[in-house]
C-alpha cells in the first residue's frame, strides 16, 4: 500500500493481486447489462456518470466487493463486518470526462475507485485539496481509497477505447 504525502491525508493505493481474470469476467458481464442499468444518475457532458448494475447481472462483482471491504476495513482500522457499501460503475467513452465532485452525501467513512479496464490515456483521477492537485494515472487492478469529502474529477479519455471503473462508498454497518 502506498500512502500520499501530508497534503492529501487519507489517500492510499492498493493493488489487487491476480486481478486479470476477475476483471475480465466483470467487464464481460458488465457489457452484457450495460444497456439496461437498474438506475443511472449524474447526467453531465452528454452522459450518465453513474450506472447502477447489481451483482445479479454481474455475479463476478461480488468477489471484488468482498476484497474491497477487506481493504477498506484495513484503511479505516475496523473489522470488515463493521462496514456497509454502495457502488456504481463509471463508463467513459473517448472524449468523456467526470466532473469535479465529492461523495460526502450521507454517512460515508471512505470512498474508493477500482479500475477494471483503463487503457493508456483514458483519464487520470485528480484529487483536489485547497489549491493542491494530485493526478493519479489509473492501472487495471488498482484501488484508490480517499476521504469522501475530498473533491475529485477524471480528466478526458483521450484513448480510442472505453474506460471502466467501479466507485464504492463505505459507511458504518447497521447495528
Enumerate the β-bridge partners of residue 14.
143
CA–CA separation, 12 and 5 (whole Å): 10
**Three-class SS of residue 130?**
coil
Q: What is the structure's pLDDT at 99?
A: 82
Q: What is the structure's pLDDT at 139?
A: 96
Residues lower than pLDDT 70 in the chain: 1-10, 175
**Three-class SS of residue 23?**
helix
The whole model's pTM is what? 0.90
35: left (phi over 0), alpha (psi -120 to 50) or beta: alpha
Indicate the average pLDDT of the chain: 88
Which CATH class, in words, describes the domain spanning 8-172?
mainly beta
Label residue 93 exposed, middle or buried (CB < 10 Å: 0-12, 13-18, 19+): middle
Which helix (DSSP H) or strand (DSSP E) does residue 115 occupy?
strand 110-117
Q: What is the structure's pLDDT at 55?
A: 95
Based on its alpha-carbon atoms, the radius of gyration of the chain, rounded to whole angstroms, reads 15
Contact 165, 138 (CB under 8 A): yes
Q: What is the structure's pLDDT at 2?
A: 37
pLDDT tens profile 63-72: 999 999 999 9
Amino acid at each position: 500500500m502506498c500512502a500520499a504525502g501530508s497534503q492529501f491525508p487519507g489517500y492510499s493505493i492498493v493493488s489487487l493481486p491476480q486481478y486479470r481474470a476477475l476483471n475480465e469476467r466483470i467487464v464481460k458481464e458488465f457489457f452484457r447489462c450495460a444497456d439496461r442499468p437498474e438506475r443511472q444518475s449524474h447526467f453531465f457532458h452528454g452522459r450518465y456518470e453513474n450506472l447502477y448494475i447489481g451483482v445479479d447481472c454481474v455475479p463476478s462483482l461480488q468477489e471484488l466487493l468482498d476484497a474491497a471491504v477487506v481493504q477498506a476495513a484495513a484503511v479505516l482500522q475496523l473489522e470488515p463486518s463493521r462496514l456497509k457499501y454502495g457502488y456504481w460503475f463509471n463508463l467513459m467513452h473517448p472524449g468523456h470526462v467526470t466532473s469535479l465532485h465529492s461523495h460526502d452525501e450521507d454517512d460515508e467513512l471512505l470512498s474508493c475507485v477500482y479500475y477494471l479496464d483503463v487503457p493508456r490515456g483514458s483519464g487520470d483521477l485528480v484529487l483536489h485539496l485547497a489549491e493542491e492537485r494530485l493526478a493519479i494515472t489509473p492501472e487495471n487492478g488498482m484501488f484508490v481509497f480517499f476521504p469522501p469529502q475530498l473533491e475529485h474529477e477524471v480528466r478526458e479519455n483521450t484513448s480510442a477505447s472505453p474506460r471502466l471503473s467501479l466507485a464504492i462508498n463505505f459507511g458504518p454497518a447497521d447495528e
